[in-house]
């Protein structure tokens, strides 16, 4: 029997921004009608969950409640708006133990492992790979990969592994940092995943096989970043929706973009009250 998995990402839910809640409501309505076996959220479930104190707590609790209301089985990993960005590139609000613990108190864990017929699903927190918590995350990955026992492997991250090539050098806001990426890829040599699915970029992109690893980028639910803005680098299609995966017990995998009715194509550059005014493209 085919296992149907819906991957949603970047919902940016907040009690302050009902416009994003309305987009999520359109997705939730479609999901309730389709009844997938599992929903996986690949991060930035909240708009401002990385904030300190009660403000960040309220954001995460709001996002958790909205997902519980779907009445579906679901899992989530954090994004940079949930626990802070990689400390190596974050000028402020970097991921740390306090923020991760707050996430864990609401969502249960910042990583997951789920076995379904013929498959092992692994979710990782890629925002802490430059912190003292990185060792625990990589130990979890190593155990999860080595224990797959012949199952096909699917990896779920917030940030994609890379923009174009697995040996990319330098730091980038958009992908996993170079050193932890190398460490992951080395683990994947012994236990190659069937695909790596991610969010964060707010664009839909099927990389195909990139040096042996299929990379699938889910679009955002909340908004895209228009080409007019400096942060709006085009990688793929700037659409909004989610990805539906069909996992066969024999390891076959099909997937496609779903664009529910009612989703509004918000351009965050035209909404400066949420994250500030973006700079125009050069």
What confidence tens digit (pLDDT) does each residue in 100-122 have?
A: 999 999 999 999 999 999 999 99
pLDDT of residue 164: 87
* Predicted confidence (pLDDT) per residue in 47-79, tens digit: 999 998 899 999 999 999 999 999 999 999 999
User: So what's the pLDDT on residue 78?
Assistant: 98
pTM strictly above 0.95: yes
Across the chain, mean pLDDT equals: 95
Q: Describe the strand order of the beta sheet including 119-123 as a list of residue ranges.
A: 112-116, 119-123, 152-156, 195-198, 213-217, 205-210
Shortest CA distance to 157 belongs to which of 139, 142, 137? 137
Beta carbons within 8 Å of 150's beta carbon, 6+ residues apart: none
Percent of the chain with pLDDT over 70: 100
Q: Structural domains in the chain?
A: 3-270 (3.60.21.10)
pLDDT higher than threshold 90 for residue 244: yes
Give residue 210's pLDDT: 77
Stretch 159-188: mean pLDDT? 92
Q: What is the pLDDT of residue 5?
A: 98
What is the structure's pLDDT at 37?
A: 98
Determine the pLDDT at residue 230: 86
- Give me the pLDDT at residue 171, please: 86
Q: What does residue 25 show for φ and ψ, rounded to 5 degrees?
A: -60, -35
Least confident of 31-45, 53-67, 149-163, 205-219: 205-219
Q: How many Å apart are CA 100 and CA 103, to the nearest integer?
A: 5
């Amino acid at each position: 029997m085919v296992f149907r998995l819906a991957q949603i990402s970047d919902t940016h839910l907040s009690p302050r921004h009902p416009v994003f809640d309305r987009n999520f409501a359109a997705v939730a309505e479609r999901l309730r009608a389709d009844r997938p076996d599992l929903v996986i959220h690949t991060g930035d479930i909240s708009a401002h969950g990385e904030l300190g104190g009660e403000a960040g707590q309220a954001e995460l609790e709001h996002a958790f409640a909205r997902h519980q209301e779907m009445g579906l089985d679901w899992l989530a990993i954090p994004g940079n708006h949930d626990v802070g960005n990689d400390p190596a590139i974050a000028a402020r609000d970097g991921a740390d133990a306090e923020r991760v613990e707050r996430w864990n108190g609401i969502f249960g864990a910042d990583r997951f492992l789920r076995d379904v017929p013929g498959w092992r699903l692994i979710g990782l927190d890629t925002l802490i790979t430059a912190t003292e918590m990185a060792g625990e995350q990589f130990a979890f990955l190593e155990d999860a990969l080595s224990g797959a026992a012949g199952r096909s492997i699917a990896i779920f991250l917030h940030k994609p592994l890379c923009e174009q090539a697995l040996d990319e050098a330098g730091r980038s806001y958009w992908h996993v940092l170079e050193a932890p990426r190398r460490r992951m890829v080395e683990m994947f040599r012994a236990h190659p995943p069937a695909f790596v699915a991610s969010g964060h970029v707010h664009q839909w992109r099927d990389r195909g096989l990139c040096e042996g690893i299929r990379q699938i980028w889910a679009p955002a639910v909340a908004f895209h970043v228009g080409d007019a803005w400096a942060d709006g680098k085009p990688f793929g299609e700037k659409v909004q929706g989610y990805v539906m995966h069909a996992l066969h017990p024999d390891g076959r995998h099909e997937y496609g973009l779903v664009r529910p009715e009612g989703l509004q194509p918000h351009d965050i550059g035209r909404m400066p009250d949420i994250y500030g005014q973006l700079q125009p493209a050069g």
